Amino acid sequence: MLKLSGKVAVVTGGGRGLGAAISTALARAGAAVVVNDIDADVAQAVVDTIVAGNGRAVALAAAIGSSQAAQLCVDKAVSQFGRLDIMCTNAGILRDKVLWNMSDEDFDLVVETHLRGTFTCARAAVRKFREQGEGGRLLLVSSLAGQRGNFGQTNYAAAKAGIAAFARTWALECSRFGVTVNAVLPTALTRMAATIPAMQPYMTLLEEGRELPAEVRLGMGMGPPEDVAPLFVFLASQAAQGITGQCIGLGGGKLALWSHPAEIRTAYSDTGWTAESIAQIWASSVGARLETFGIPPM
């Protein structure tokens, strides 16, 4: 088992679902964990579970998004456990609606929590990592929706795509400080996933204690949150010290490395392009095969 003894982690949104699974897995590997959640009771319940298993953890109730909340997370780690080594930005909400029905509030709430919350928590953590001078780990939570787009998720897909871009940008900026930055793309049956109608039959199977079929665990790469948590332990460990700037998916029995955007076909004109010349060559060159989009139907 990979050990995180002596390490201190913050897990935002750590009181339920994936966050609770991550918090528990990091603690089981030996890390002391600050379990953040907007709901103090659920955060404390996770802490109680960790402590009952001889782990170390403390709860912190705060709504992630603001700089103040991010600093509270870092300060809690330092005041309780003396340092910070791992920041896991997991906190998130959903406000799904199609574009023409999405309100400003729907958009802003999701972007505030996912995108701004990832930024503020990562910034506060890296400032502490630099001060300590011993490196660190940023474990960001992105999504398939951020890679592929997803119907009804303008706000969520945009935020998660931004988080993938954060990982690539911060990997460049933070490498000289020994800080690695990676984005995890979890596919887990959580309370958030249960709001998607297609996921409800599989949630029912889990709630009834029944096994998910192979086409779900392997084909869809979908399972309970506990299936995803080991990736966070691995990325937080010394075994992953050379891995940074990556988008890595895990769910069910499927582990995947996602490609970064890259040019796939090009065309050149010495005299520049007109609309007519683009139309003339499009189908036979750059546009010979267009890219797919959207998460495949479940």
Length of the chain: 298
Retrieve residue 73's tokens: 């997370």
Kindly give the pairing relationship between strand 179-186 and strand 247-251: parallel
Q: Which among 230, 250, 251, 225 has a CA at the least distance from the CA of 18? A: 225
Decide if 156 is catalytic.
Answer: yes
How remote is the C-alpha of 162 from its chain's centroid?
11
Q: How many CB atoms lie within 10 A of CB 17?
A: 23
* φ/ψ bin of 80: left (φ > 0), alpha (ψ from -120 to 50), beta (otherwise): alpha
Name the catalytic one among 7, 76, 128, 160: 160
Whole-number Cα distances in Å, 108 to 64, 94, 102, 191, 240: 13, 11, 10, 21, 34
Retrieve residue 276's tokens: 């007519």
3-state helix, strand, coil in the chain (%, to 5): 50, 15, 35
Decide if 97 is catalytic.
Answer: no
Name the catalytic one among 23, 128, 142, 143: 143
DSSP string, 8-19: EEEETTTTSHHH
**Structure-token match 């780990």, residue found:** 137
Alpha helices, H only, 67-116: 67-81, 104-111
CA 259 – CA 51 distance, rounded (Å): 39
Decide if 268 is catalytic.
Answer: no
CA 42 – CA 286 distance, rounded (Å): 52
**Structure-token match 């009952």, residue found:** 52
Name the catalytic one among 23, 76, 142, 156: 156
Which residues have a catalytic role annotated? 143, 156, 160
